[in-house]
Amino acid sequence: MAERVAPESVSGLYLAGLDLRGRRVVVVGGGSVAQRRLPNLVAAGADVTVVAIDPTPAVESFQGITVLTRAYADGDLDGAWYVLACTDDPQVNAAVVAEAERSRIFCVRADDARKGTAATPASGRHRDLQFGVLAGGDHRQSAAMRAAISRALADGSLAPHAGAPHPPGVALVGGGPGDAELITVRGQRLLAQADVVVADRLAPPELLAALGPQVEIIDAAKVPYGRAMKQEAINDVLVSRAKEGKFVVRLKGGDPFVYGRGFEELQACVAAGVPVTVVPGVSSPIAAPASAGIPVTHRGVTHEVVIASGHVPPGHPDSLIDWSVLAQLQGTLVLMMAVERVAVFADALLAGGKPGDTPVAMIENGSLPTQRLLRTDLAHAGEVADAENLTPPAIVVVGAVAAFTDADSGSRR
């Protein structure tokens, strides 16, 4: 009879993908380890049962699983295909492994991987690709390698489908508030696959610099109070390039649908029968204040945030804003595209009854190394903006939170 080789003497493990759809999986233990494992098990379609004396609230409320709030007992693994022993009691974990061995069920032992019969890899997903990393029990090394692979897949430096072009169509991608690292993972991945990029002035330039020479870059800049590519021309180029069989990324600053005319572009693509997808972005009216240490909401201080366009002044025939109503708000008002008319908007709010000592913060180049923060009050906002030569892009925050600093913002109740 062949002698069983001890797991700790094995130089490596055999990697396999398990089809757990509809199959029973038992997780013994309801702490942080179980909490990290549950999402992937449920996503794989497993019929998961957790046995734990005191599961965490996240485990106890996890959707799509069965939780038995009691101690593990012999026989709990009946009918299981796969088992995870992840309690904080080594004796319980050993008993779980022993029952699994008797039943010929592969079992992961979280506290000592060498004493189980299976190991959980650091796993990741990219579109329809799944991958896992095992590093001989060194969980930090496997997690670091997983992160490196994920980054490489996201930015396109590691191409799982080398030579396979993206299907023709358009993606409306929000590039974030300015810092190139604040684009979403999905947005960066699609940008790396683009044949054509139609870029706004506020799209992070570092993202464009990283594109290959084969990518056609079309400047669709809209300079404030200056020259601009007509929206109709932008719509036309998106549709025409896609109909030529190319994958077009419309790269915008912030989010495509927050003063980005993204819905107009989506309508144009749909009307022309061009496949289109929208990738949300980190929006500057939230991100710029955050980068300056200013929360747009805070418990006990403000329960609402209003984002208003400063593209046209109060009283203009094209204005859709009732500034007298905004003046009565108790919460936070965030103004975009307001740099040229800070004094005008401040006067409108003051005329509507907003107190002159209402704090105001102006964040220029939010999230960038050149970010600048100006603080004042509503009565002096226009004067400060002029004196300090505030320039676009800038966000103006009006309300109590505009006076918050990193030191005191956490102490308000």
Tens of pLDDT, residues 306-362: 999 999 999 999 999 999 999 999 999 999 999 999 999 999 999 999 999 999 999
**What's the pTM value of the predicted model, to 2 decimals?**
0.74
> How far apart (Å, rounded) are the C-alpha atoms in residues 293 and 1?
69
**Whole-number Å distance between alpha carbons of 412 and 397:** 18
pLDDT at residue 177 in the model: 95
Contact 181, 231 (CB under 8 A): no
Distance CA 118, CA 114 (A): 9
Q: In the numeric block, which tokens belong to residue 192?
A: 């790396």
Q: Name the more confident of 406 and 80.
A: 80
Range of lowest pLDDT (160-174, 284-298, 342-356, 374-388): 160-174
What pLDDT does residue 127 have?
66
**Stronger pLDDT, 163 or 65, i.e. the higher one:** 65
Peptide bond into 393 cis (omega under 30): yes
Distance between CA atoms of residues 32 and 331, nearest Å = 38
CA atoms within 13 A on the CB side of 200: 25
Please identify every residue annotated as catalytic.
Answer: 200, 222
Q: What is d(CA 6, CA 192) in angstroms, rounded to the nearest whole number?
A: 46
Please determine, for residue 148, whether its predicted confidence score (pLDDT) is greater than 90. Answer: no
pLDDT of res. 162: 52
Contact predicate 327/354, CB 8 Å = yes
Phi, psi dihedral angles at 85 (to 5 degrees): -100, 105
One-character DSSP codes across 340-393: GGHHHHHHHHHHTT--TT-EEEEEESTTSTT-EEEEEEGGGHHHHHHHTT--SS
Largest CA distance in the chain: 94
Residue 275 half-sphere exposure toward CB, CA atoms < 13 A: 9
Q: What is the DSSP letter of 174?
A: E
Q: Is 221:214 a contact under the CB 8 Å cutoff?
A: no
What secondary structure letter does DSSP report for 134? -
Q: Which helix (H) or strand (E) holds 218?
A: strand 216-219
Q: What angle do CA 386, 387, 389 make, to 5 degrees?
A: 60
The two tokens of residue 153 are: 């897949």
